[in-house]
Amino acid sequence: MEKNFLQNFSLEGKVALVTGASYGIGFGIATAFARCGAKIVFNDIRQELVDKGLAAYKEEGIEAHGYVCDVTNEDAVNAMVAQIEKEVGVIDILVNNAGIIKRIPMCEMSAAEFRQVIDVDLNAPFIVSKAVIPGMIKKGHGKIINICSMMSELGRETVSAYAAAKGGLKMLTRNICSEYGEYNIQCNGIGPGYIATPQTAPLRERQPDGSRHPFDSFIVAKTPAARWGTPEDLQGPAVFLASDASDFVNGQVLYVDGGILAYIGKQPK
């Protein structure tokens, strides 16, 4: 008997590692995976962040497994993946979510600051993917989702390192697809638009006179949906890319941006 079509979207029994998922986008995606039956594993860079994440998952009724790990440290990542395989199971789904941004004009940014952003936002997805791919090959399947960005396609002042990293992550996504597609491993990206998270909170702060932050007004005007996105807006696309429903989708970046990339913007009055 054929399985119910909706079972294609089930993650029942799958082990999902979402990096940096104590809060924000990663937490939202991991929560959706758990609701679809996955076992959730996450990491963060400090124990207090891991503890905060574990408490947040517990509040949602989710039994998550948290690990302290710096995703830019290859030895630490390899040790964490080995520990996850031993304690939870071989990883079926990886979401490379951990990331940082430094909003500094390029000529004021030091090379060390530039390298730090590249290290977390591009080198780390390479390191973590490399650690989980052998297990996926042995299992005969795997899903890797890289959290890209509209900055994989667009530039903007003050984000040279972030845009360079996210553009590189788009191409890493395509290359993982190219190298490992034959092993039934799908590697795709999600490119969020402007999402309301703690990371973007400074851009939405009300001005002393009660008016909107200029950047907040700018983004709402540039978005056909006329609002910021929420972590919940990323849940459906993430579940799709993690599930059997996307088995022939590979090397793509799905932009969840409320239409920004399709839109030239309003003519000034």
Query: Which residue has tokens 């793509």?
Result: 252
Strand-strand pairing, 65-68 and 93-96: unpaired
Evaluate the CA torsion angle 11, 200, 190, 237 in order and state its sign: positive
Both tokens of 44, joined, read 């963060």
**Number of neighbouring beta carbons within 10 Å of residue 264:** 6
CA 181, chain centre distance (Å)? 20
Which strand (E) or helix (H) includes residue 91? none
Helices (H), 122-234: 124-139, 160-180, 214-222
Strand-strand pairing, 15-19 and 39-44: parallel
**Catalytically annotated residue among 57, 67, 162, 255:** 162
CA distance 183 to 248: 12
Residues 6+ apart with CB under 8 A from 182: none
How far is CA 123 from each of CA 117, 120, 156, rounded to the nearest angstrom? 9, 6, 22
| Annotated catalytic residue 162 | yes
Both tokens of 118, joined, read 């590249």
What residues act catalytically? 162
